[in-house]
Amino acid sequence: MSLLQVKNLIVEFPGRHGTLRALDDISFDIAPGEILGIVGESGAGKSLTSAAIIGLLEPPGRVAGGQILLEGTRIDNLNHEQMRHIRGRRIGAIFQDPLTSLNPLYTVGKQLIETIQTHLPLGAEEARLRAISLLQETGIAAAEQRMGHYPHQFSGGMRQRVVIALALAAEPKLIVADEPTTALDVSIQAQIITLLKSVCKKHNAAVMLITHDMGVIAETCDRVAVMYAGRIAEIGPVHDVINRPSHPYTEGLMAAIPDIEVDRDRLHQIDGSMPRLDGIPTGCAFNPRCARAFDRCRQARPELMPVSTTRAACWLHDASQEAVA
């Protein structure tokens, strides 16, 4: 069974000038232990997808349709308190800024122990040993002494390591990481991603890894979903999506990674920018930026359709139509 199922998820923002639809019919699964990457330019809907899953959509944003299931049970209709419990125990969250997850007033040891004891039936000493061991696993030197330090006494990278330890404290089955290295120094981003991958594998936690960096996706994920304007443009095994991108938007994102072997002649930099929610083009939302757009792209919206091992929402792959040049 899938660990996480997102089915036809719709997220809307009601406003004075009408309702804006920010996520429009998003569906994907994550298998136990799997790393699913979510990639796309700023504004694609990556963070809203994550916020909907962990129950932290900010009002007036709301789930207006669809379902989210964790191990077969719906979690999109739970109340605040139930969702808070799920977030600590069954889903661990990691945000761009480590200080979102850490309380500046408490030592990291106290925060780890408290999270562990809230969710696991461990006594004080067992919880303390578990906290130390989690810090060691995440590469914090002199972990026992560091337990007594406050978040501001750690560097940005070390703080994000503490957050990873905290996210794993109650052995969740799923870690949702929204741009976990974007705020960190470029020189340590790769280390943190590598660490995240290795500790999650060790703890058997699946990961939904959000990034705008195709290079990180290529090196880290099992599968990838490419998002554009609140929808999934392409989804499939990472190797296939990267080596044979089926959606012109994915090709454009690939062009930004210098060291991946793809047919350079097919690539164009993507001109233009992601549409605002109140100006999403009819037909394929990508059509104004797409070098291969044809009439149908401006009229009808493509759903995800199978293309060998992946699925892409692009009329170029519509097997039911005559091929269009």
Nearer to Mg ion, 12 or 178 (CB): 178
> Tokens 């406003």 correspond to what residue?
15
Per CB under 6 A, which region of 113-121, 132-140, 236-244, 279-287 contacts ligand SF4?
Answer: 279-287
Whole-Å CA distances, 143 to 93, 148, 157, 201, 233: 22, 9, 15, 21, 43
d(CA 157, CA 21): 35
- Of 23 and 284, the one with the shorter C-beta distance to ligand SF4 is 284
Tokens describing residue 325: 């040049």
Cβ–Cβ under 8 Å, residues 286 and 233: yes
Q: How far apart are the C-alpha atoms of 291 and 140, rounded to whole Å?
A: 48
Which residues from 60-79 bind ligand ADP, rule CB under 6 A? 61
User: Interaction with Mg ion in 39-98: which residues (CB under 5 A)?
Assistant: 46-47
Among 115, 302, 310, 311, binds ligand SF4 (CB under 6 A): 302
Asked if residue 170 lies in contact with residue 137, where contact means CB atoms within 8 angstroms, the answer is: no
Which of 93, 101, 50 shows the shortest CA–CA distance to 210? 50
| Positions 213 through 252 that interact with ligand SF4 (CB under 6 A) | 247-248
- Closer to Mg ion by CB, 46 or 146: give it: 46
Q: Per CB under 6 A, which region of 54-62, 126-134, 270-278, 287-295 contacts ligand SF4? A: 287-295
Q: Which is nearer to ligand SF4, 163 or 293 (CB)?
A: 293
Please report whether residue 115 would count as binding ligand SF4 according to CB under 6 A: no
Nearest to 197 by CA among 221, 178, 215, 213: 221
Looking at 164, 297, 304, 307, which residue binds ligand SF4 (CB under 6 A)?
297
Q: Quick one: 229 or 255, whose CB is closer to ligand ADP? A: 229
Helices (H), 168-259: 186-202, 214-220, 238-243, 248-254
CA distance 119 to 281: 46
Asked if 40 is part of the footprint of ligand ADP (rule: CB under 6 A), the reply reads yes
Choice between 11 and 316, CB closer to ligand SF4: 316
Q: Minimal CA–CA distance to 71: which of 182, 194, 139, 172?
A: 172
- Of residues 290 through 309, those in contact with ligand ADP by CB under 6 A are none
Q: Binding to ligand SF4 by residue 314, rule CB under 6 A?
A: yes
Find which of ligand ADP, Mg ion, ligand SF4, none residue 315 binds, CB within 5 to 8 Å per kind.
ligand SF4
Q: Is there a contact between 317 and 251 (Cβ–Cβ < 8 Å)?
A: no
CB 254 within 8 A of CB 267: yes
Residue choice 3, 24, 30, 43 for contact with ligand ADP (CB under 6 A): 43
Binds 284: which of Mg ion, ligand ADP, ligand SF4, none (CB < 5-8 Å by kind)? ligand SF4
Q: Which neighbouring-strand residues pair with 152?
A: none
Kind of pairing, strands 174-178 and 91-94? parallel
- Could you tell me how many residues of this chain bind ligand ADP (CB under 6 A)? 13
CA 38/CA 214 separation, integer angstroms? 9
- Tokens 């340590």: give the residue: 188
Closer residue to ligand ADP, CB minimum distance, 20 or 262: 20
* Binding residue for ligand SF4, selected from 48, 134, 214, 284, defined by CB under 6 A: 284
Chain residues that interact with ligand SF4, rule: CB under 6 A = 247-248, 284, 286-287, 290, 292-293, 297, 302, 314-316
Chain residues that interact with ligand ADP, rule: CB under 6 A = 13, 22, 40, 42-48, 58, 61, 277
Chain residues that interact with Mg ion, rule: CB under 5 A = 46-47
